[in-house]
Amino acid sequence: ASVIGIEDIIVHAGFVPNNPFAPEYATMLSSVFVLGSYLKKNRQNLLFETGGESPITLLRLIQDVKLDNLYVNLDPANIIMYGYGNPVDAIDVFGKYVRNIHGKDGCVPTDPRQIGRETVIGQGMVDFPKMLQKLKALGYDRYITIERETGSTPEDDILLAREYLENIWNSI
């Protein structure tokens, strides 16, 4: 990836334990440190996709590893679909670390055995106007990658999402 100029590597780190004293947390810390250190030597960043842990847990992991190339790939739908809160509020927790965004929408889980369902952007529970307003106020000027994994017309949904997000961004 570094040979072809890719600066940001986005990963789902797995489930980061909310309990910082759990043995799995120590394992996660050391694994992230090894990977982050390797990427740092290549002038690359490691971005954690949100969803599988609470925002404060992800912030704690980034701070505990103590590398300056660790960031967040904000997937607002994942935060909602995994039941870990509201992405607008999450920006108050880790906003300065957001380096990429997934344009995706979804709903909270109502079945305790499944994550919430993904929706077309604008039909779920993500408050894109508030979220993008907060990010723009922080100086965010990077990517919004439209992610659409379900539905019978993903190509049409992606085009509609682009227009929806552009309209919001340009109105802020």
Report pLDDT for 148: 85
Bridge partners for 98 per DSSP: 72
Of 58, 107, 40, 39, which is closest to residue 78 (Cα–Cα)?
Answer: 107
158: part of which helix (H) or strand (E)? helix 154-171
Q: Is the pTM of this model over 0.85?
A: yes
Task: Please give the Cα distance from 154 to 120 (Å, whole number).
Answer: 9
Task: Please give the Cα distance from 102 to 82 (Å, whole number).
Answer: 15
- What is the distance, to the nearest Å, from the Cα of residue 108 to the centroid of all Cα atoms in its chain? 16
Report pLDDT for 152: 82
Task: Please give the Cα distance from 169 to 90 (Å, whole number).
Answer: 19
- Residue given tokens 């929408």 in the structure block: 105
pLDDT tens for the chain, 172 residues: list them.
989 999 999 999 888 999 999 999 999 999 999 999 999 999 999 999 998 899 999 999 999 999 999 999 999 999 999 999 999 999 999 999 999 999 999 999 999 999 999 999 999 999 999 999 999 999 999 999 999 877 788 889 899 999 999 999 999 9
- What is the distance, to the nearest Å, from the Cα of residue 28 to the centroid of all Cα atoms in its chain? 18
Report pLDDT for 21: 96
Of 132, 148, 10, which is closest to residue 72 (Cα–Cα)?
Answer: 10
Report pLDDT for 171: 96
Q: Let me know how long the chain is.
A: 172
Of 86, 106, 110, 85, which is closest to residue 148 (Cα–Cα)?
Answer: 106
Task: Please give the Cα distance from 136 to 86 (Å, whole number).
Answer: 18
